[in-house]
Amino acid sequence: MILRPYGVDDGPATLEVFLRAIRVTAAQDYSPEQVAAWASDEIDPAGWAARRRASRTQVAEVDGRVVGFTDVDEHGYVDMLFVDPASARQGVATALLDWAVTTARELGADELSTHASLTARPFFEKHGFVVVEEHQPVLRGVTLRNFVMRRALDLPGD
């Protein structure tokens, strides 16, 4: 596996990973109605690509195929962390989060934070994040459930 910055041609592959991660992996924790609202067929590919380009996105690639991606901003906020179900539980998200930690430090952030799904919560807890708030965002008219989670950038033993 290699990690590299998002390239101009990565829009379709990252969108596919996003949709599959929700429709297969997160579908274990969310209802079909919630999955349809989150991984919507209405996501505009051009808008998606523009947002990824603007978001300091990093992709994980295996044999030339995008299998996951994340991002981080100067405050240490991780907006996206998605791994293709075919590559689940192989350490892809862990490698991407390590990149986010290093990058957030370089950017001068004090902490890492995210809005974690029900599905991602155990992953983030394993990596030292704690829940500070529960949210019920409404997406395309459907209520979902996620958690604001935070962790210090430097953890004992890191």
Ligand X SMILES: CC(C)(COP(=O)(O)OP(=O)(O)OC[C@H]1O[C@@H](n2cnc3c(N)ncnc32)[C@H](O)[C@@H]1OP(=O)(O)O)[C@@H](O)C(=O)NCCC(=O)NCCS
CA neighbor of 99 nearest in space, from 2, 8, 22, 9: 2
User: Using H for helix, E for strand and C for coil, what is the string for 53-71?
Assistant: HCCCEEEEEECCEEEEEEE
* Residue numbers at the binding site for ligand X (CB under 6 A): 21-22, 25-26, 81-83, 88-94, 114, 116-117, 119-120, 122-123, 126
CA distances from 138 to 21, 75, 88, 102, 141 (A): 20, 25, 27, 32, 6
Q: Which residue is nearest to ligand X (CB)?
A: 93
CB of 25 to ligand X, least distance (A): 4
CB of 89 to ligand X, least distance (A): 4
Tell me whether residue 108 or residue 127 sits nearer to ligand X (CB atom): 127
Tell me whether residue 49 or residue 80 sits nearer to ligand X (CB atom): 80
